Amino acid sequence: MRRTLLAAASLCALLWAAPAVAAEVALPPFYQHVAGLSSQGPLGEVVAKEPVETSIPGAQAWRIAYISSDVLEKKTLSTALVIAPTGAPPAGGRGILAWGHGTTGTAQNCGPSQLFDPAQDLNEYNLIGGTSWTDFGVPAATQFITQGYVLVATDYQGLGGGGIHQYANAATQARDMINAVRAVGSMGLSGEGKKALAYGWSQGGGAVLSAASLTNYINAPGSAFDGVSFVGFVALAPHDIQVLIPPGATQEPAATGVLKGLAHDFSSNVFNFTHYAMAMWALPPAFPELKLTDVFTDEGAAAINEILSKKCMHPAADTVNFNFAETYPSLLRADPVNAAAWVKGLIASSVTPDVPVAPVIIYWGNKDVTNDPVMGKLYREQKCAIGGNITRIELPGDQNHFTTPGASEPLYLPWVEDRFAGKPLANGCAQQ
């Protein structure tokens, strides 16, 4: 299949029948404390918070930990960064914006909120001007604060709140975004405002597409902040794995073919292979019938578990390269087993076949070779066929995966404003 098919998987587990256990990594005191807290309580309940300094004018910020759940509705703890205007909310309240970040890694210390000075505009590591080894910050944060919104940027479960990060499991990360909105509301930062919008990039773009179709989850009563109404969803270079899996692939031998295709496509270089390994390492925690040794050799499973439980994306890729060089494909089983269960897990961790609860807009670049834009095309066709309102915009110029957030910002800013204002929107499915 395609490279992007992998970018939408999820996994983690030790190697054999036992569930995976996160290795010890150094964490700031706030996250050490959070990892020992209970995840039992209403969805969106804030169980810990600490103030964070920010240079954004007129803003205040916190790190928080809140109750969420994964794709199988198992309660989890997630951490997040919250940025809000100073002062009390105005009459009528504030709109809530939930940001979903792209790939940072799988270890507990890979959450963007853990970085120094995280409450700023998006800071991309590989662009000129980036100041860290990873992406952090929130796109258009300064602009959105000026406009009076409150922002929440989840780290996703497993990136600072304990447990195993279900990397690229869009269905789990969608729940983290929805519950982050509830957390902000429960803190009183939106006042009477219950309108929300989700926007995200890459891994977070997949979470946005998944969140858009979780109608029952959004409307379920008994949370820490009931009655949230999403007015729109903005997906930047998203993945959607289920649209790439052909009919009948949940049965053998087609399922084996899917896994072999993924392994082949993601073995072209060590960077892509590491993404594949992260996705496959992260799926068993959500689906216990899966074992890492179904798809990796015993040596490969041991090495991948040791690396990914302790390192974030780029150090992990460097470690695979240093230790295995061009032999890294030998860490994979030549013939995967239990393939049908793995393919079913990939589908379940993606987007449900339901109509989005609000309009969705997708921005994509013609030079994106990280998340194949065809996934957004197929997603739009699928959701338009059942009554969704889906717009898909090709960004001007030659834009790749990493320039997408900056190139799309001036386009989605007015779209976001119009959604909160309740302005009429043309049917994106009527466009060519």
H or E stretch at 408: helix 404-421
> What span, in angstroms and rounded, lies between the C-alpha atoms of 279 and 390?
27
- What are phi and psi for residue 159, nearest 5 degrees? -115, 45
Burial class (CB in 10 A: 0-12, 13-18, 19+), 247: exposed
Which pair of structure tokens corresponds to residue 90? 């105005």
Q: Which CATH number characterizes residue 67's domain?
A: 3.40.50.1820
> What span, in angstroms and rounded, lies between the C-alpha atoms of 133 and 313?
9
> What span, in angstroms and rounded, lies between the C-alpha atoms of 193 and 95?
6
Nearest partner of 304 among 287, 324, 288, judged by Cα: 324
Query: How many residues in total does the chain contain?
Result: 432
Considering the domain boundaries, does residue 14 fall inside one?
no
| C-alpha count within 13 angstroms, C-beta hemisphere, residue 117 | 9
| pLDDT at 432 (0 to 100) | 64
| pLDDT at 268 (0 to 100) | 86
| pLDDT at 8 (0 to 100) | 33
**Low-confidence stretches of the chain (pLDDT beneath 70):** 1-23, 432
Domain that holds residue 318: 248-347
| pLDDT at 345 (0 to 100) | 96
Q: Are residues 312 and 179 in the same domain?
A: no
Q: Are residues 109 and 202 in the same domain?
A: yes
> What span, in angstroms and rounded, lies between the C-alpha atoms of 265 and 4?
9
Sign of the dihedral through C-alpha 427, 429, 430, 432? positive
> What span, in angstroms and rounded, lies between the C-alpha atoms of 225 and 253?
46
Residue with tokens 């790439």: 244
Considering the domain boundaries, does residue 278 fall inside one?
yes
Phi-psi domain of 425 (left: phi exceeds 0; alpha: psi -120 through 50; beta: other): beta
Considering the domain boundaries, does residue 292 fall inside one?
yes
Per-residue pLDDT tens digits for 283-339: 999 999 999 999 999 999 999 999 999 999 999 999 999 999 999 999 999 999 999
Domain end: 291, 325, 347, which one?
Answer: 347
